[in-house]
Amino acid sequence: MSTENNQTVVVLDFGGQYKELIARRVRECKVHSQILAGNTPIDALKQIAPIGIILTGGPHSVYAADSPHTVKELFEMGIPILGICYGMQLMAYTLGGEVKPCAVSEYGTVSATYDDPTCALFDGLKSETVTLMSHTDYVARVPQGFRGVAHTADCPTAAMCDEARKLYAVQFHPEVERTREGTKLLRNFLYKVCGAKGDYNIDDVIEKQIKAIREQVGDHQVVLGLSGGVDSSVCAAILEKAIPGQLTCIFVDHGMMRKNEGDEIERAFKGKSLNFVRVDAEKRFLGKLAGVTEPERKRKIIGEEFVRVFEEESSKFAGSFLAQGTIYPDVVESGLTTGAVIKSHHNVGGLPKDTKFIGIVEPLRYLFKDEVRALGRRLGLDETLVSRQPFPGPGLAVRCIGEITKERLDILRDADYIYREELAKAGLAYDQFFAVLTDMRTVGVMGDGRTYNYVLGLRAVKTSDFMTCEYAHIPYETLDVVSSRIVNEVKGVSRVVYDITGKPPATIEWE
């Protein structure tokens, strides 16, 4: 994405788990951000000409031989820099300060005191606040020219600054929600230190991407694999706006969507200036899955078969561009920005070998999920698509424990529909909620007869990043209605349970 007209803040990654969150927070403050590896050459940074640089946290000790380091020249560029956690220790170590192991390590929420209200980072913030700490080392002596400006009970230097050189650092994580007023601190750095103008917004992204799509595609056709998820739906919407009449959306219906979902996706895109192709492949997928119970095997079979079906259908459009709903976290996690692979993504890495496509169009490649949702709303997409919950690629196959059959999927579909319907009636909204059909049967009594049917699990969680979660405290009255409806209306279920496990130790999905 072209950002030549936007101010940019570079986030240099040193292995921090929150690097994407830092970049997102910067963009929430209406400043463009870009994640790069911590060892990015100085010359490359100069070409970008950022208004500020943020150094991420990381799991290393700066005094260890194999830890990531940076060069002193980074701090001599005249560009404002904010170090966070490991980034603070790296700044201190590189500039001649001293970093030592903590006498008492700090993990979790910790009360911190901002000692110097004149420090630009703390302008307008309360002097005592709660922060998220996660460190075993600390800055025992600040470099020459710096002064300590915050502390906790166990960390004498929780923040430091050298205002003359516009170098600032905090030991805690301002990017997470558990640090109160953390976003305000980042905003102070961006606007009071870096001189940000706040010139980044989604409306500009739409205009730039439409122009870029038209320049890239010209008069050629474009083919998109449409899953109905947020990313592919927004990708379809912006492509249709940019090149009306040149887009074909192929929706591979593998038979493992939620109740009515395939029809809802078709309704959302039928009648628009694009060619919508729905491939009914339910029998084909169920045939491949017959007798398979192992979760990873299910995923692999579905993934491979999906590719085959899409290739067969898209082969009719040889000489077209391939569009993908790749988003920025996919790129970051695949190591294409930092060099460190977190997990590979099927839609990252270029065109497959022996392809008949002439190129890839990825209009969302540099956007975060919240930006993609905002983009979808600007483009007029139906809210049911824009706010769609995360849904696994294999669909209900990984929420149906054990063997996959149409009968078992229909049981799960009906129960899940009742669950979602009753939560909506009760005015309850959670970050993710769904039903799971187990492969366990238990004895029950219905009427005067004995039953031996499935146990159904319900799951609802609250999370801001999907890296961790807490289970949702659904009122008993609502759970009672849901359970009663499911056992009475869904043939095959005789017992309903509610999952009260957080992440960790559990994952959000059951498989």
Residues assigned a catalytic role: 85, 173, 175
Nearest to 217 by CA among 201, 233, 238: 238
* CA separation for the pair 316, 311 (Å, rounded): 9
Query: 14: helix, coil or strand?
Result: coil
Q: How, if at all, do strands 128-141 and 98-114 pair?
A: antiparallel
Please, which residues have CB within 8 angstroms of residue 472's CB and are 6 or more apart in sequence? 428, 430, 433, 460, 461, 462
Q: Give buried/exposed letters for 353-392 (b at 16+ CB in 10 A, else e).
A: eeeebeebbbbbbbbbbebbbbbbebbebbeebbebeebb
* CA separation for the pair 107, 502 (Å, rounded): 18
Other Cβ atoms less than 10 A from the Cβ of 195: the count is 12
Asked if 301 and 292 count as a contact pair (C-beta separation under 8 A), the reply is yes
Query: 248: helix, coil or strand?
Result: strand
Encoded tokens for 319: 């000489």
* CA separation for the pair 314, 361 (Å, rounded): 15
Q: At what angle do helices 406-425 and 476-489 cross, to 10 degrees?
A: 150
* Placement of tokens 């070998």 in the chain: 353
* Strand ranges, E, within 226-307: 247-253, 275-280
Half-sphere exposure in the Cβ direction for 390 (13 Å, CA): 16
| Type of residue numbered 417 | Y
| Type of residue numbered 126 | K
The runs of H, that is alpha helices, within 379-466 are 383-386, 406-425
